[in-house]
Amino acid sequence: MLKKYADKDYYYIVNNILNNNEFRKIDNCSHHGISRLEHCVRVSYYSYLITKYLGLDYEKTARAALLHDFFIGDNSSKLKSFFNHSKIALENSDNLFILSDKERDIINTHMFPVNINKIPKYMESWVVSFVDKASCIYEGSLTVSRCFKFKLQNAMVISIFLIGRFL
């Protein structure tokens, strides 16, 4: 995560969220075999880079992507929270921060197409949804590679193969 924090522009945009004590509680939650905070920072940072490159609203994207899985508890074993957690993340985010309509949409629709009922309204929401899925696959591959003592390169090869299957 250090590389992402070292990007001063990125850190300037998200630092008030990152340093919020309530938000930082997600660092203690397990998510795809890593900390939920680490997952959220990964999704936020790569969504920020992509939207910046595309000339989209990268500031709102970075903030909302960081908040997209802002909920406490383990979602891996509970099917209900798997489908509901975007709503909970939005409620938690609304309680602590002032969000724009676009930021709210990014958080609320990030589970598309797993949750087919919430379709992204903005390009930024589509980007975050895609980066979230790619990160899930990458993080899942890392966990598998750890289990079987593969090397990091193998996790990346598995990720690229799986992402390619979905495109």
User: Which residues would be at the binding site for Fe ion (CB under 5 A)?
Assistant: 69, 132
User: Considering the complex, what minimum distance in angstroms separates the CB of residue 18 from Fe ion?
Assistant: 16
Q: Match 């598309």 to its residue by tokens.
A: 112
User: Considering the complex, what minimum distance in angstroms separates the CB of residue 123 from Fe ion?
Assistant: 19
Whichever of 97 and 150 has its CB closer to Fe ion, that residue is 97
User: Considering the complex, what minimum distance in angstroms separates the CB of residue 150 from Fe ion?
Assistant: 23
User: Considering the complex, what minimum distance in angstroms separates the CB of residue 151 from Fe ion?
Assistant: 25
Whichever of 59 and 69 has its CB closer to Fe ion, that residue is 69
Reduce the secondary structure of the chain to three states and give it as a string. Answer: CHHHHHCHHHHHHHHHHHCCCCHHHHHHCEECCEEHHHHHHHHHHHHHHHHHHCCCCHHHHHHHHHHCCCCCCCCCCCHHHHHHHHHHHHHHHHHHCCCCHHHHHHHHCCCCCCCCCCCCCCHHHHHHHHHHHHHHHHHHHHHHHHHCCCCHHHHHHHHHHHHHHHC
User: Considering the complex, what minimum distance in angstroms separates the CB of residue 8 from Fe ion?
Assistant: 25
Whichever of 12 and 24 has its CB closer to Fe ion, that residue is 24
65: tokens are: 């992507």
Whichever of 69 and 103 has its CB closer to Fe ion, that residue is 69
Whichever of 57 and 132 has its CB closer to Fe ion, that residue is 132
